[in-house]
Amino acid sequence: MKKIFITSLCLLFFSSSGIFISHAESGNENLGVELVKRNIIVTVGKKQLVEIKSINFNFTPPKFISDVGKSNGEVLIKVVYPAVAKYGEASSDLVDTIRISKLNGGLRFFCKPKWAQNVTILLKDQDEHYFGVLEHLYPDNKKSPDLRGQVVDVEVLGSDSQYHENYASVWSAFYMSSRGYASFFNTFAEGRYTLGINGVTELYHHTGKLDWYIFTGNNGDEILRSYYSVIGHPKFVPIWACGPVTWRDQNNGGSEEILSDIQKMTDLKIPLTAWFVDRPYSNGAQEWSKMDFNKKFSNPKEWISEINNKYGLQFMTWVGSLTFEDKDFPGLLPNYKGYIDLTNPEAVKEFEKRLTENQYSYNVRGHKMDRGDEDFPVTAFWHDGTPEPERRNKYIYLYSKVISKFLQDSFGKDEFNFARAAYQGCQPNLSAVWGGDSRSTWDGFACSIATSLRCGYMGFPVWGSDVGGYLGGRIPESLYARWIEFGSWCGLYETKIDNAGGKGEDRPPWKYGTQLQKIYREACERRMEMLPYIFSEANTSYKNGVLMKPLSYEYPSDKNTYGIWNEYLFGNAFLVAPIFDSTNSREIYLPKGEWFDFYNFNKTFTGEKNIKVNYSLDKIPVFIKRNSIYVTGNIYAGNSRLWEPAAAKRNTLNIFAFPGNPEEKAHFSYIDYRDGDKEKSIILSSAKNIINLAVEPINADCTAVVKVDLKPSSVLLNNMPAAFDWETKEKIVRVKLNKQVQNKLEIKF
């Protein structure tokens, strides 16, 4: 067999069966490609991952395919397509080359024939299950994330609400497979995926450019590392956006109502970190098009300053990429909604000018981005000539990109934008996604849980719902409580406290009883305690994956997880299983391993089985994974500074460690808010009769809290005997660490 070196890590072999690529990279050892007759087969070791039956251009399969060799580290495959004869001209075959190149974690297939307008990839169905592509519950509000046997459109269709749950509007030409890989088609062009039907999976896009990736990994985190290396790392999320956020759909009382709401929340001692105002609040068409503050919100410098300085909150506003009936704006697309052509430099310049002068100058730090997916004028000509099949998806990408740039030009990274609609590639420009205009019912709540997981499969790290639902007013206290609890364990925690449209009876907590107020207060207090963990997980998602991880994302070989829509991993330490009906009980599936009850560390469960649990209204089922680390502490105050004067100065952390079996390790990347957001490593390891915890220097007063089975015989900190507290009941060791130095903790038994 002849060997030809492509790179130091990649070899190309020619044989009678075809070609083979091999390279040793983390999580992808022995990733290979073979050309067998007319099929291209991707393998990992001896496992066949993907079998490509055909790559068709203009709906036509190749009549001939053969290996050519290598060039600049790429494998070249010659493809010959039959041509359609033009009138009066002789027919000739169309010849092109598919280039296959390796990247860290996968392969890229590229071909751009000048004559092609459509591309279709036909894959052999290998009895796999598919997760991703779209957020809304397809079909017929089906909650299971498993799309096997479905035909789905890859196009942002936000106004098509009768077919899905409440404008849940995230799409992506990206899916994860239960076979341990992900497919990513890097295009804005509309598409249609037929997933595991009649022995074939068909990936179609209305473009002549093939730019397709296969990423491999043992779980979703590993796959997304490779994916983010192609589309860009997810956007930074400031710590104030990780805490509790509140808003009304309409503030008929203007700025006075906002300040009154914030004061009432403060009187109830419910901690918050941010507030935002929804439309209407401006002058112009639909009380928005001028993008300023109208008479009800006059003197914005004064009242926004009060929100910032008195209450310690950041303030955000609703924005739309349209002017409605107002045509006094350059570069509008021809449509009654007045959509802004985001490829027109003059339009983008005016958009930024209005927001900068009318909002950022008053310290508006972020936006809820709406309406980019509704009634969009697809056939209108764009300034940059973007072809029609790309417009819906590309517009959403551009919307996130321009708004992110506007904010960053004014505030650097200390800003936040979240949207209902998103498409692949938005991750570097979009801080978070919210899950659409959900119904204020038990089923609307359940559907919100299900849509959150679909976003996780698509690699959107931070997701949240309108807590309490959008489409409705006052709701039962039990539903409100359960949604409040769920929201506190989401990436984005925002609560809507009035009726849709501001009409009817609203639902701020002071209009409920003391039990609901207590539940809301405690959920927000816990959220504040969890800020170090959430802030760190959000800002290390480029390597540690999404915050809300579906179970089959983390355990792709466990068939029991494929249809689970109502529980998820929150970061790498917790399993969260919301109760989504009026009962206080539910069945939960725990994956392999050992799990601790979040409320009682001595209560443990063995995985790979279902358990039945009962939780009162003030608790949500949460479990801690053995061999994991999480960090809590009061490092950001918000409005709590008004009832706890020392809160703003507090800087204490608890590092919780749940050791695994001997030779197992756990790693946590802590983002140090008090040290310029630097990434600090915390490593937990176990050996026989010894537990080790290594902590890089952190700018806080830290205490290690280690769950053990026995009282230690000795505790060493940086090789010196250390004082420790032993809590007999919970079997916990507490050790104070040294501030701003490397700490090496050794616990012996």
Query: Per-residue pLDDT tens for 145-168?
Result: 999 999 999 999 876 554 456 689
Query: Per-residue pLDDT tens for 215-233?
Result: 999 999 999 999 999 999 9
Residues 40 and 122 in one domain: yes
Residue 238 lies in a domain: no
Query: Per-residue pLDDT tens for 424-443?
Result: 999 999 999 999 999 999 99
Residues 116 and 171 in one domain: yes
The answer to which of 300-309, 370-379, 621-630 has the lowest mean pLDDT is 370-379
Range of the domain at 413: 245-273+312-544
The last residue of one of the domains, among 504, 524, 544, is 544
Handedness of CA 316, 540, 239, 242 (dihedral sign): positive
Q: Which CATH number does the domain housing residue 264 bear?
A: 3.20.20.80
Please report the pLDDT score of residue 203 as a whole number.
Answer: 98
Q: Is the pLDDT of residue 457 over 70?
A: yes
Residue 209 lies in a domain: yes
Residues 589 and 721 in one domain: no
Q: What angle do CA 118, 124, 130 make, to 5 degrees?
A: 85
Residue 290 lies in a domain: no
Tell me which residue has tokens 């203007």: 254
Residues 553 and 661 in one domain: no
Give 712 or 650, the one with higher predicted confidence.
712
Residues 460 and 609 in one domain: no
CB neighbours of residue 328 within 10 Å? 12
* Secondary structure string (H, E, C) spanning 502-571: HCCCCCCHHHCCHHHHHHHHHHHHHHHHCHHHHHHHHCCHHHHCCCEEEHHHHCCCCHHHCCCCCCEEEC
Residue 240 lies in a domain: no
Distance CA 16, CA 335 (A): 59
Work out the pLDDT band at 27, boundaries 50, 70, 90: very low
Distance CA 316, CA 368 (A): 7
Query: Per-residue pLDDT tens for 683-695?
Result: 999 999 999 999 9
Residues 679 and 590 in one domain: no
**Mean pLDDT computed over 609-626:** 97
* Mean of the per-residue pLDDT values of the chain: 93
Residue 644 lies in a domain: no
Closest CA to 574 of 536, 513, 533: 533
Work out the pLDDT band at 141, boundaries 50, 70, 90: confident
Residues 476 and 564 in one domain: no
Please report the pLDDT score of residue 7 as a whole number.
Answer: 30
Q: Which CATH number does the domain housing residue 690 bear?
A: 2.60.40.1180
Please report the pLDDT score of residue 650 as a whole number.
Answer: 85
Query: Per-residue pLDDT tens for 30-48?
Result: 788 989 988 999 999 889 9
Residues 203 and 269 in one domain: no
Report the number of distinct structural domains present in the chain.
4
Q: Which CATH number does the domain housing residue 14 bear?
A: 2.70.98
Residues 200 and 325 in one domain: no
Residue 635 lies in a domain: no
Please report the pLDDT score of residue 70 as a whole number.
Answer: 82
Residues 673 and 598 in one domain: no
Please report the pLDDT score of residue 138 as a whole number.
Answer: 86
Work out the pLDDT band at 375, boundaries 50, 70, 90: confident
Which residues, at least 6 apart from 34, have a Cβ–Cβ distance to it below 8 Å?
17, 18, 19, 20, 40, 41, 43
Say if residues 59 and 120 touch (Cβ distance below 8 Å). yes
Q: Is the pLDDT of residue 122 over 80?
A: yes
Residues 474 and 568 in one domain: no
Closest CA to 592 of 625, 547, 620, 548: 625
Residue 281 lies in a domain: no
What is the model's pTM? 0.95
Which residue type does 65 have?
A: I
Residues 39 and 145 in one domain: yes
Please report the pLDDT score of residue 84 as a whole number.
Answer: 63
Query: Per-residue pLDDT tens for 236-275?
Result: 999 999 999 999 999 999 999 999 999 999 999 999 999 9
pLDDT-above-70 percentage for the chain: 94
Residue 295 lies in a domain: no
